[in-house]
Structure 1
Amino acid sequence: MELLTIGTFARASRLSPKALRLYDELGLLTPARVDPVTGYRLYDPAQLERARLVAWLRRLGMPLTRIREVCDLEPEAAAQRVRAFWAEVEADTASRRDLARFLIDHLSRRDTAMPSLAIRYAALSDTGLVRESNQDTAYAGSRLLAVADGFGSSGAPASAAAVDALKPLEIGEALSAGDLLNVLEDAIEQAKRAVHDAAGSEASGTTLTAMLWTGSQLALVHIGDSRAYLLRGAEFFQITTDHTIVQSMVDQDRLTPEEATTHPQRSLLLRALSGAGEAAPDIRLHDARPGDRYLLCSDGLSAVVPPGDLRRVLAEPTAPEDAVRELVALTNRTGGPDNVSCVVADVSSEGRNRTGSGR
């Protein structure tokens, strides 16, 4: 079969001659032959399929090094790589969308006086009935609420390191919204470094769901599949999105929420704080109202206890200390297959902050 000149091949593949020369230099799309006299690159028509795949992947924004890996795989394996890449893109887009919302909220409220509220809080962490050790960390203080769920051989020190890195936020004056973003960014960077040092390898790390209390608002920091919920009046909301493969499949309408609860890959994380040290948490800002009740928990609770039962326990007119004890007891009565940690915080217009048990 007659070989195609670079110009003809470029038009057929919808890649520019400049791009084809670059892909040749990178070993991504090598010409079938190079004319020894003119130096012209000549391509086999059979290479068009690979060239078109390269063009499509570039339109997705995939880096060239990853495109080369995808092109060398069998179709099913290549499809899995593209699916995983797009899940990462969507997670990054969601994170930047949350940052945009945060900035919009901050700028919209910059000149608005916010009411001063108070919180009562409690934290509790339990090993459960099956695991030999506890890799979770739960913490509740006057300004910081946090749950971290470690994984891998260094999961316990990783989760403790993530929470410890945020504890300095307890010290000092209440933050204005204008200072909040910079303070959180610094704290998150410290948490990432601390987890990187504690984890020791990419196979270990932790989730992190934390709230910083500003006196009238709660700034949420979230990465992984620990969760934050809000009970407001009769409504019960999950206010975080799991950074998991299964959640990305739900978002793409490839799984129903019901199917996701029993999917064999439901615990595979897309993002977490780990030895790799690259992933960034989501940051959001929530207006608090008197009567709000917040729940932060590891998946040892949310994966075992149905949302209806979580809502029922939280709706009881009990103190946060009683609520966290009942949630842990409910999990263990259901079999306690994992470590379980939770923080419950109540917002009120008056009254003193109170602490409960925690790690």
Structure 2
Amino acid sequence: MFRGMENMAELTIGAFARASRLSPKALRLYDELGLLLPARVDGTTGYRYYTGDQLDRARLVAWLRRIGMPLARIGEVCDLCERDPRAAGRDIGAYWARVETETAARGDLVAFLVGQLSGLPAGEGVEEMSEMGKGKETAMRYAAGSDRGLVRPVNQDTAYAGTRLLAVADGFGDDGARASGAAVEALVALEESVRGADVLNGLADAVDRVNRAGATGGPGGSGTTLTAMLWTGSRLALVHVGDTRAYLLRGGEVSRITHDHTLVQSMIDAGSLTAEEGVSHPRRALLLRALDGSEDHARPDLRLHDVQPGDRYLLCSDGLFTVVRPEDIRRVLRTAAEPEDAVRELIALALAAGGSDNVACAVADAVTRV
């Protein structure tokens, strides 16, 4: 980029602003923040001077600002670009993927609120919109199961599937079984009590109550992960904290719809580790978020997810996806006739792979009834 200007003579801040298409005010800000330091500052006048070989960094800072990247991260990306441009490119890509995910979640919430505020009956909202007037009703067929595995002395995983709720929790520490059970139990209570616009708030409140009530953070650093989906009729409200996962089979394609809250995943997002390297990383089980009694660690991801007839959803603990090959998980989701068949076969695959951890999964199919 702009290599022809590297030998340009020293430029005043005004000349450099014109060459870089940045304002002098922006250049002064970037200097103060350490993002783009002048090549020289006159000791008497305080005037800033730049050189042509600083144009690449100036333009990169400006471009990253245009995509909304925080200034602190811009500095890290610019420094990384000077050492390893490819790694910097991966980091920018990871940042934008996160932006798109968060934007999609906010878009879902906006659509939900628009429906609520557009005269729909209180407590119903958009959950009734997609099938109203079609003579059809969308329902869920579901199953859940859990197994201690072949190595662990107790089962600390909890799985649940009901008429409106799917949930999987993976407990840890001396009291992990109680922690995972308490987390799922708190959500089961929402199946009949929470609907419409209250669904996301209901999930968030339930998670907060569990975290503050002492059901987590017990002996031995106890706590639990949690991934759950509460069905509202045409949408699923997702709550997720930790490294339990949710997958979606739609149109023959399987995609993961949760993002692990782990050290390894954060390194992958930052471009310092590849997904392949993460599989065997020695700290792959280190959680950055969990329900462990700490308010800082318990921040859940919350979003609304559109449901289509024919969708199949899988929620599972890491005792499944860390030992069963992704292609085998995809095959089972595509071929199992019923949710209970999928649950049974997935647990069997985890045990056949050594069963080194507890394993839990819940599967639900969205079906249309005339």
Query: Which TM-score bucket, shorter chain as reference?
Result: 0.5 to 0.7
* TM-score normalised by the chain length of structure 1: 0.67
What is the percent sequence identity of the aligned residues?
A: 47
Structure with more contact order per residue of length (Cα contacts < 8 Å, sep ≥ 6) = 1
State how far apart, in whole Å, the 1-side matches of 2:86 and 2:278 are: 17
Are residues 1:219 and 2:236 paired? yes
Deviations 1:104-126 (A, max 9, x none): 58847649257556655442222
Counterpart mapping for 1:167-246 below 5 A: 167-172=188-193, 175=195, 179-180=196-197, 182-188=198-204, 190-191=206-207, 194=210, 198=216, 208-214=226-232, 216-221=233-238, 223=240, 226-230=245-249, 236-238=252-254, 240-243=256-259
| 1:145, distance to aligned residue in structure 2 (A) | 1.3
The match for 1:33 is: 40
**Equivalent position of 1:264 in the other structure:** 277
Give the match's secondary structure for 2:277.
coil
Residues 17-38 of structure 1: CA distance to partner in whole angstroms, max 9, x if unpaired? 0111112222333334333554
Post-superposition CA distance 1:204-259 (Å, at most 9, x none): 98664422234x4451416456123458xxx655364353688x99xxxxx9xxxx
1:117–1:347 contact (8 Å) kept in structure 2 = yes
For residues 69 and 236 of structure 1, do their structure 2 counterparts lie closer, same or farther at Cα, with a shift above 3 Å needed? Answer: closer
Tell me how far 1:146 sits from its aligned partner. 0.9
Change (3 A) 1:56 1:293: closer
**Alpha-carbon distance in structure 2 between the residues aligned to 1:74 and 1:13:** 18
Instruction: Give the equivalent residue in structure 2 for 1:13.
Output: 20
Report what 1:163 is aligned to.
Answer: 184
The answer as to whether partners of 1:13 and 1:55 remain within 8 angstroms in 2 is no
Residues 128, 332 of structure 1: 8 Å contact kept? yes
Other-structure match for 2:158: 137
The change in CA–CA distance for 1:211 and 1:27 in structure 2 (over 3 A counts) is closer
Displacement, 1:167?
3.1
| Aligned partner of residue 315 in structure 1, secondary structure | coil
SS at match of 2:301: coil
Specify the SS of the correspondent of 2:315.
strand
Q: CA-atom RMSD, angstroms? A: 4.6
d(CA) in 2 for partners of 1:149, 1:272: 14
Write the distance in 2 (CA, Å) between the matches of 1:2 and 1:142.
72
Alpha-carbon distance in structure 1 between the residues aligned to 2:217 and 2:78? 33
Task: Give the gaps of 5 or more residues in structure 2.
Answer: 1-7, 116-125, 269-273, 291-295
Deviates more, 1:39-48 or 1:100-109: 100-109
Q: TM-score, normalised by structure 2?
A: 0.66
Cα separation, partners in 2 of 1:156 and 1:49, compared to 1, 3 Å: farther
In the alignment, structure 1 residue 327 sits paired with structure 2 residue 343: no
Task: Kindly provide the amino acid, as one letter, of the partner of residue 203 in structure 2.
Answer: A
Of 72, 75, 78, the residue aligned with 1:68 is 75
Is 1:314–2:340 an aligned residue pair? Answer: no
Q: Structure 1, residues 23-67: CA drift from partner, whole Å, max 9, x if none?
A: 222233333433355432222444444333323332332211122
Q: Distance in 2 between matches of 1:347 and 1:241?
A: 16
Alignment partner of 1:340 out of 341, 359, 366: 359
Matched letter for residue 331 of structure 1: A
Count of aligned residue pairs for this structure pair: 323
How far apart in 2 are the matches of 1:285 and 1:312?
20
